Amino acid sequence: MAVADHVDFPTFMEGVKKRNPGQTEFVQAVQEVAQDIFEFIKDKEEYHEAQILRRIAEPDRVVSFRVCWEDDNHNIRVQRGWRVQNNNAIGPYKGGIRFHPSVTESVLKFLAFEQTFKNSLTGLPMGGGKGGANFNPRGKSDSEVMRFCQSFMTELYRHIGPDTDVPAGDIGVGGREIGYMFGQYKRITNRWEGVLTGKGQEYGGSQMRPEATGYGAVYFMQNMLKHAGHDVEGKTAVISGSGNVATHAAEKITQLGGKVLTLSDSGGFIHDPDGIDQAKIDFVKHLKTVKRGRISEYCDEYKGASFHEGKRPWDVECDLALPCATQNELNEDEAKALVKNGVQAVSEGANMPTTLDGVKVFHDAKIMYGPGKAANAGGVAVSGLEMSQNSERISWNHERLGEMLTELMEGIHGKCVEYGEKDGHVDYVKGANIAGFKKVADAMLAFGVV
Ligand code: NDP
Ligand code: 2IT
């Protein structure tokens, strides 16, 4: 092989920007990873020669398709769907499906890129992918959601398979949507196989999968605190979001003796100084997954709480912060407010919730900061265990899966420490990026030029 020209980091990023015009989220995600990888590979000629980072930052393929469906008033509606298959060096593409009006190709490319590193960190054999549509489930009837999911799967099915690409849930895609999509896949192919994860318990879903991301994000935080000689017990926590990840993060913080002060949705946040206990969390779960209401309704039920319309919760004084809603929901000023108020640790349940400037604030303040690709990997890790159970046609119990999740999160934390600790401080971003990169890169080296 010829010796490649070593482009430097700024030149590399110029190329990424030029090749992906207008895709700001994707460029942001690549930038956050690339700065650490450039440092790591500076004396490693083989990665340069084989152009590994350049290849990981170019999805294997992006499939985009029309999703046509009929609403309850018989209007024909047209949405755009995608599946981004980023990298399958270490296993079948794996990653969630997002239904939200903000979904674009850039958002899904950033998520599929992040997923490649996250899945590698779990130690399980899974590549990185992500999919979705610019469909807004809010205010839609069950029948409308079902027709949309069926139409989406009628195109998607030809691109996925249990050894090819295994989607799961993400924002706007939970148990209901996975059920509709799995039913349609089975109907089209006449095959019952583990093609999706996050399935219902009755048809091959894994115990612990609904809880896994939120619980895992708290376990990651617990590991960070423990490494520094601290504990969750007695600490206050500010959480954003009120969906799958946020409610389960709140549940685990509460179980470990912490006090959850906030939850949010796109309308604003609620602040409950008395603490959001298990009964209140159950109320929110029901509100969001059954009633499909707004978080502001929390204050109709619990009078001690206040609703802050159009605001995010990062000004509320706390020891621990868990962003669990969406990307770029915590900016530089909000990171400064958290630091000023004495936050000790941040664990990201969401994917890339902190802006690059915000990350720098945490970095400079030497806050324990667990980036999404490490902290929220518990969800996809248990998805990996769901794949194993489906392949073996067995199911493990809740207790066993709970232990496996705890061990997986400990393992991910350990890898971040291994690659990110220097002079008594752990740079979890760097640790996660390098550990995630190395496994994928070494697999790609083994394949030669493909
Ligand atoms: P849900 O759809 O269950 O919940 C999403 C929550 O985030 C809702 O409270 C929603 O509010 C809020 N939200 C969504 N978009 C915005 C926005 N633009 N501004 C403010 N709030 C917003 O999704 P999940 O809980 O599954 O996902 C949350 C995050 O966790 C995402 O970043 C996802 O990628 C990540 N994640 C999820 C995993 C999983 O297993 N589910 C695994 C790993 C990461 P509203 O109701 O108003 O839309
Ligand atoms: O971002 C994520 O890791 C997910 N949405 C879960 C992916 C999965 O395949 O379980």
Q: What is the pLDDT of residues 178-202, one digit of tens each?
A: 999 999 999 999 999 999 999 999 9
Give pLDDT, residue 450: 86
Q: What is the CATH number of the domain that holds 88?
A: 3.40.50.10860
263 and 234 in a common domain = yes
- Residue to mutate, 94, 115, 197, 245, ligand 1, most ligand atoms under 8 Å from C-beta: 245
What order do you get walking across the sheet with 165-168 strand by strand? 61-70, 76-87, 127-133, 93-99, 165-168
Q: What is the CATH number of the domain that holds 313?
A: 3.40.50.720
Q: Which whole number is the average pLDDT over 58-87? A: 98
- CA 348, CA 341: separation in Å to the nearest integer? 18
Q: At residue 3, does pLDDT exceed 80?
A: no
In a domain, 134, yes or no: yes
In a domain, 7, yes or no: yes
68 and 116 in a common domain = yes
163 and 175 in a common domain = yes
Contact between residue 234 and residue 260 where contact means Cβ atoms under 8 Å apart: no
- Cα dihedral sign for 411, 405, 90, 118? negative
Check if 106 has its Cβ closer than 6 Å to any atom of ligand 2. no
In the chain, the number of structural domains is 3
pLDDT above 90 covers a percentage of the chain that reads: 98
What atom in ligand 2 is closest to the CA of residue 382? Answer: 10
215 and 232 in a common domain = yes
In a domain, 382, yes or no: no
Give pLDDT, residue 6: 78
Strands 236-239 and 259-265: parallel
Contact between residue 288 and residue 316 where contact means Cβ atoms under 8 Å apart: no
- CA 148, CA 119: separation in Å to the nearest integer? 28
358 and 218 in a common domain = yes
297 and 226 in a common domain = yes
Per the prediction, the chain carries an average pLDDT of 97
Q: Which whole number is the average pLDDT over 329-336? A: 98
Structure tokens at 224: 């960070």
Q: Which whole number is the average pLDDT over 406-434? A: 97
Contact between residue 153 and residue 160 where contact means Cβ atoms under 8 Å apart: no
In a domain, 264, yes or no: yes
Last residue of a domain, one of 165, 194, 223: 194
| Residue closest to 375 by CA, chosen among 320, 319, 333 | 320
Question: Which among 130, 259, 280, 430 is annotated as catalytic?
Answer: 130
In a domain, 22, yes or no: yes
Instruction: Quote the strand ranges of 123-171, DSSP E.
Output: 127-133, 165-168
The verdict on whether 366 is a catalytic residue reads no
363 and 215 in a common domain = yes
In the reported structure, the alpha carbon of residue 210 is separated from the centroid of ligand 2 by a whole-number distance in angstroms of 11
Last residue of a domain, one of 132, 163, 194: 194
In the reported structure, the alpha carbon of residue 325 is separated from the centroid of ligand 1 by a whole-number distance in angstroms of 4
Give pLDDT, residue 212: 98
Instruction: Quote the strand ranges of 169-250, DSSP E.
Output: 236-239
> Hey, whose CA ends up nearest to atom 9 of ligand 2?
95
- CA 28, CA 119: separation in Å to the nearest integer? 19
DSSP H helices, 256-369, are 278-289, 298-301, 332-340, 356-364
- CA 1, CA 4: separation in Å to the nearest integer? 9
- CA 40, CA 401: separation in Å to the nearest integer? 34
In a domain, 224, yes or no: yes
Element (H, E) at 96: strand 93-99
- CA 78, CA 68: separation in Å to the nearest integer? 5
345 and 222 in a common domain = yes
Q: Which residue has the tokens 């590193």?
A: 117
- 4-34, pLDDT tens digit by residue? 567 899 999 999 999 999 999 999 999 999 9
Strands 306-309 and 268-271: antiparallel
Give pLDDT, residue 5: 61
Q: Which amino acid, 73?
A: N
In a domain, 112, yes or no: yes
Q: How far apart are the first and last CA of the chain?
A: 14
Contact between residue 359 and residue 32 where contact means Cβ atoms under 8 Å apart: yes
Check if 199 has its Cβ closer than 6 Å to any atom of ligand 2. no
- CA 49, CA 52: separation in Å to the nearest integer? 8
- CA 100, CA 109: separation in Å to the nearest integer? 15
147 and 254 in a common domain = no
In a domain, 417, yes or no: no
Q: Name the 3-class secondary structure at 209.
A: helix
Contact between residue 130 and residue 95 where contact means Cβ atoms under 8 Å apart: yes
153 and 27 in a common domain = no
332 and 319 in a common domain = yes
106 is in which domain, residue-wise?
61-194
Q: At residue 211, does pLDDT exceed 70?
A: yes
Q: Which whole number is the average pLDDT over 162-166? A: 98
Give pLDDT, residue 1: 47
Last residue of a domain, one of 142, 170, 194: 194
Q: Which whole number is the average pLDDT over 318-338? A: 98
Q: Which residue has the tokens 């009837």?
A: 141
232 and 273 in a common domain = yes
